Amino acid sequence: LYLFFHLPGTSEEVAPPVQQCFMVPKKEINVVSDMAKWKRSQAYADYMGFILTLNEGVRGKKLTCEYKISEPIEKLVALLNTLDRWIDETPPVDQPSRFGNKAFRTWYAKLDQEAEKLVSAVIPKHLADAAPEVAVYLKESVGNSTRIDYGTGHEAAFAAFLCCLCKIGVLRVDDQMAIVFKVFNRYLEVMRKLQKTYRMEPAGSQGVWGLDDFQFLPFIWGSSQLIDHPSLEPRHFVDEKVVNENHKDFMFLECILFITEMKTGPFAEHSNQLWNISAVPSWSKVNQGLIRMYKAECLEKFPVIQHFKFGSLLPIQPVTS
């Protein structure tokens, strides 16, 4: 599982062993039959390997526990803080329709313009050539500026962004917990603020049949955090008191809290799939089921994956190893 976490010596400024030819990622999935290419691709294997490596890395750990915070992690948090600040600087505009506030386009245009510079600040000088490739995934990770929507495909682009940083050796094996707890968690906070501020539509929402309107990964990693918890069982996450008391420790409960803030009415009605999950006997069963569901409902769905982009770090070529 650690294949794409580079492990050169301990020295920070190690030049990559092979001269990588970076490229700007592009769309490769144009028709439904292209989905077979995706499932056989190196990109799919690496992406899924990355998700599962992090799933193991956070198993049984609280968000508030001690873990190493490296310089690249701090720089990534600073990058996300910048995106957050831009939201404050770009208030919603007055418009007739309640959803899809057009100020998001102004916010997005700033990211579009600055993305490469933001990424260059995170990666070491000798990897500067990677910035245009990696920046594409950052730009894809915040929602669509035409439709003013956000969904699991955008979330996948952020995971791909982090995966690329691991593949070029910026993030390392001992950054695993910080990748989820510090960086991904901060990303979620910024995305929730975007969704609230600009009233973004859910992209490709399956309505009541989807797990959540906007996210999926925090439910996977969040359920892994709860595996073998001495007292919290899956049936407890629909209990408001339990959520209020424990959400700062567990990503899964943080997501539940956000849903209940955003939606009205009985939980079983607005979030039926999650309600069903609360009947599963153990967190490890929940975790395994969510991984299967993620592959089936997100990674194997053409409307989601048609937007995914492929380059030298996440190639469309079939798996070699």
Q: What is the pLDDT of residues 105-161, one digit of tens each?
A: 999 999 999 999 999 999 999 999 999 999 999 999 999 999 999 999 999 999 999
Cβ–Cβ under 8 Å, residues 163 and 54:
no
**Spatial separation of the C-alpha atoms in residues 320 and 46, rounded to whole Å:** 11
- What pLDDT score was predicted for residue 107? 98
Domain extent, residue 138, equals 26-205+302-310
**Spatial separation of the C-alpha atoms in residues 63 and 254, rounded to whole Å:** 11
Same domain, 128 and 41: yes
Residue 214: φ, ψ to 5°: -125, -35
Mind listing the pLDDT tens digit for each residue in 254-310?
999 999 999 999 999 999 999 999 999 999 999 999 999 999 999 999 999 999 999
If pLDDT is split at 50, 70 and 90, which confidence band does 14 have?
Answer: very low
Tokens 């993305």: give the residue.
115
- What pLDDT score was predicted for residue 9? 40
Residue-wise burial string across 116-138, b where 16 or more C-beta atoms lie within 10 A, e elsewhere: bebbbebbbeebeebbbbbbbbb
Q: Take residue 64 and report the two structure tokens written for it.
A: 């508030």
Same domain, 114 and 233: no
Same domain, 138 and 232: no
Q: Mark residue 169 as left, alpha or beta (left: phi above 0; alpha: psi -120 to 50; beta: remaining).
A: left
Does residue 55 belong to any structural domain of this protein?
A: yes
Does residue 315 belong to any structural domain of this protein?
A: no
Same domain, 200 and 226: no
SS3 content of the chain, % helix, strand, coil (to 5): 60, 5, 40
Same domain, 260 and 127: no
Does residue 185 belong to any structural domain of this protein?
A: yes
Same domain, 67 and 185: yes
Helix or strand or coil: residue 318? strand
Mind listing the pLDDT tens digit for each residue in 224-263?
999 999 999 999 999 999 999 999 999 999 999 999 999 9
Same domain, 239 and 158: no
Q: Take residue 86 and report the two structure tokens written for it.
A: 């831009």
Provide the CATH number for the domain around residue 271.
1.20.120.1150
Does residue 12 belong to any structural domain of this protein?
A: no
Report CA torsion sign: 97, 102, 104, 108: positive
If pLDDT is split at 50, 70 and 90, which confidence band does 11 have?
Answer: very low
Share of the chain above pLDDT 90, in %: 89
Helix or strand or coil: residue 201? strand
DSSP for 99-130 reads SS-THHHHHHHHHHHHHHHHHHTTS-GGGGGG
Same domain, 236 and 306: no
Compute the C-alpha angle 147/122/54, nearest 5°: 75
If pLDDT is split at 50, 70 and 90, which confidence band does 162 have?
Answer: very high
Same domain, 54 and 179: yes
Number of domains in the chain: 2
If pLDDT is split at 50, 70 and 90, which confidence band does 210 have?
Answer: confident
Does residue 70 belong to any structural domain of this protein?
A: yes
Compute the C-alpha angle 176/179/182, nearest 5°: 125
Does residue 137 belong to any structural domain of this protein?
A: yes
Average pLDDT taken over every residue of the chain? 93
Same domain, 192 and 212: no
Asked if residue 4 has pLDDT above 70, the reply is no
Asked if residue 83 has pLDDT above 90, the reply is yes
**Spatial separation of the C-alpha atoms in residues 168 and 164, rounded to whole Å:** 6
Asked if residue 315 has pLDDT above 80, the reply is yes
Does residue 199 belong to any structural domain of this protein?
A: yes
Asked if residue 35 has pLDDT above 80, the reply is yes
Does residue 170 belong to any structural domain of this protein?
A: yes
Same domain, 99 and 237: no
Same domain, 65 and 94: yes
